[in-house]
């Protein structure tokens, strides 16, 4: 337990050997370190000083959270980072989803490795002003499961914060796992003294997702993290008619492809239809969706991002949705949400003043 580190064989919800309840709380019952923790001298964690020194060069820290997995949180984190970097900000993206690190894939960095320098761990760079850190760079095999208890996860998050040399950053985007688990408590605890600007929460429109988002909002309020806003992702499937596949059901229920027939008919008889965008509700939003929830909970609503197959493809290929015109349905909405964040928090003006 050198430097107050949580031992690897500790119980899952270990409060840490420096905590006043160490060795005494319910979480300590049956732990092989219980007696040692109970009698160990208490004091401030020296690693927090090292974290504060590292984070002193980071101007803004943004957490990206979700109540459930699979709502597009990591996609939003990746595209937020791409967008900020395209605005010439210095950006870092830290992936603390230890068991499901998808950020390397979404930024086209699969197979990359972390390098050590005399200043610490070096992030993997997409561009000169966009660096990334993830456990995904540390796994010998991408298919290997990370089966870690809470203390070991917390130890890696602490290591990312105190050992990674980001240099001067305008924004550090932290992609957290879904829910409100040990990783969330750790990142807030470690960054609290250095200042967290707030959290963006990503959800889908249906109540089964919003139920858990309410818990996420409650978590933020309890730990003193401002909710910068909520993004409703996958808010209806939207794409050009020409991108759809058309089919006709046969008598035995099989699909017969008639896409070319339909498109040919439109070209000949209704060419104006070729530029029409078709939208369909995928998730039930009859309960008011994220807009209603934000009104009820008193947090900002940032906007709705449609379920755009082209955005999904951009994430699969590890590229920015803003780099070309392919994501014509989703990219303008994402850009509007990011602009709203910059304006609401006056980040652009503040950072311009710093550089002048």
Q: Is 14 annotated as a binding residue?
A: yes
Render pLDDT for 224-265 as a digit per residue (tens, 0 to 9).
Answer: 999 999 999 999 999 999 999 999 998 888 999 999 999 999
Instruction: Establish whether 99 is an annotated binding residue.
Output: no
In the three-class reduction of DSSP (H, G, I as helix; E, B as strand; rest coil), residue 6 is classed as coil
Residues 6+ apart with CB under 8 A from 231: 76, 200, 201, 202, 203, 290, 302, 303, 304, 305, 337
- Report the CATH number at residue 201: 3.40.50.300
- The structural domain count of the chain equals 3
Q: Is 289 annotated as a binding residue?
A: no
72 is in an annotated binding site: yes
SS3 category, 216:
helix
Mean pLDDT over 269-292 rounds to 92
Whether residue 74 is annotated as binding a ligand: the answer is: yes
Indicate if 117 and 173 belong to the same structural domain.
yes
- On whether both 215 and 136 belong to a single domain, the answer is yes
* 8 A C-beta contact, residue 229 and residue 302: yes
* Residues 79 and 223 occupy one common structural domain: yes
One domain, residues 156 and 270: no
Q: Are residues 103 and 243 in the same domain?
A: no
Among 314, 287, 294, 247, which Cα is nearest to 79's? 314
Check whether 264 is labelled as a binding-site residue. Answer: no
Coil, strand or helix: which one is 74? Answer: helix
Same domain, 117 and 211: yes
Q: Is 222 annotated as a binding residue?
A: no
Same domain for 126 and 271 = no
At 40 the three-state DSSP class reads coil
Q: Mean per-residue pLDDT for 63-91?
A: 96
Domain containing 318 equals 47-235+285-353
- Which tens digit of pLDDT belongs to each residue from 94-150? 999 999 899 999 999 999 999 998 999 999 999 999 999 999 999 888 888 888 888
- 208/265 same-domain check: no
Half-sphere exposure of 269 (CA within 13 A, CB side): 6
Report DSSP state, residue 158. H
Residue 70 annotated as lining a ligand binding site: yes
The answer on 245 and 171 residing in a single domain is no
The reported pLDDT for the residue numbered 4 is: 58
Based on the fold, state whether residues 89 and 216 are members of the same structural domain: yes
Tell me, yes or no, whether 248 and 142 share the same domain: no
Integer-rounded Cα Rg, in Å, for the chain is 23
Domain stops at, among 222, 252, 280: 280
294 is in an annotated binding site: no
Q: How confident is the model at residue 68 (pLDDT cuts 50, 70, 90)?
A: very high
Give the alpha-carbon dihedral of 239, 245, 249, 252, to 10 degrees: -120
Do 89 and 73 belong together in one domain?
yes
């Amino acid at each position: 337990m050198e430097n107050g580190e949580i031992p690897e064989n500790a119980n899952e919800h270990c409060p840490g050997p420096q905590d006043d309840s160490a060795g005494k709380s319910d979480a300590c019952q049956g732990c092989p370190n219980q007696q040692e923790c109970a009698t160990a001298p208490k004091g401030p964690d020296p690693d927090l000083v090292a974290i504060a020194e590292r984070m002193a060069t980071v101007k803004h820290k943004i957490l990206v959270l979700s109540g459930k997995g699979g709502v597009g949180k990591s996609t939003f984190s990746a595209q937020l980072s791409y967008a900020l970097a395209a605005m010439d900000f210095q950006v870092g993206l830290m992936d603390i989803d230890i068991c499901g690190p998808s950020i390397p894939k979404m930024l086209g960095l699969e197979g990359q490795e972390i390098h050590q320098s005399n200043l610490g761990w070096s992030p993997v760079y997409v561009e000169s002003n966009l660096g990334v850190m993830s456990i995904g760079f540390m796994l010998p095999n991408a298919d290997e499961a990370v089966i870690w208890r809470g203390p070991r996860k917390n130890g890696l998050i602490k290591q990312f914060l105190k050992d990674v040399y980001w240099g001067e950053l305008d924004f550090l985007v932290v992609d957290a796992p879904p829910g409100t688990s040990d990783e969330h408590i750790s990142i807030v605890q470690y960054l609290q003294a250095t200042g967290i600007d707030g959290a963006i929460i990503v959800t889908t429109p249906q109540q089964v997702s919003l139920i858990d988002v309410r818990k996420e909002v409650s978590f933020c309020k309890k730990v003193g993290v401002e909710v910068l806003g909520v993004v409703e992702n996958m808010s209806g499937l939207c794409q050009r008619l020409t991108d759809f596949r058309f089919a006709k059901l046969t008598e035995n229920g099989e699909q017969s492809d008639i896409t070319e027939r339909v498109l040919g008919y439109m070209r000949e008889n209704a060419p104006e239809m070729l530029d029409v965008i078709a939208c369909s509700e995928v998730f039930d939003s009859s309960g008011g969706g994220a807009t209603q929830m934000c009104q009820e909970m008193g947090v900002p609503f940032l906007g709705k991002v449609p379920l755009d197959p082209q955005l999904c493809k951009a994430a699969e290929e590890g590229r920015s949705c803003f780099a070309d015109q392919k994501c014509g349905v989703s990219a303008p909405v994402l850009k509007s949400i990011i602009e709203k964040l910059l304006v609401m928090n006056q980040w652009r003006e503040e950072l311009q003043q710093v550089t002048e």
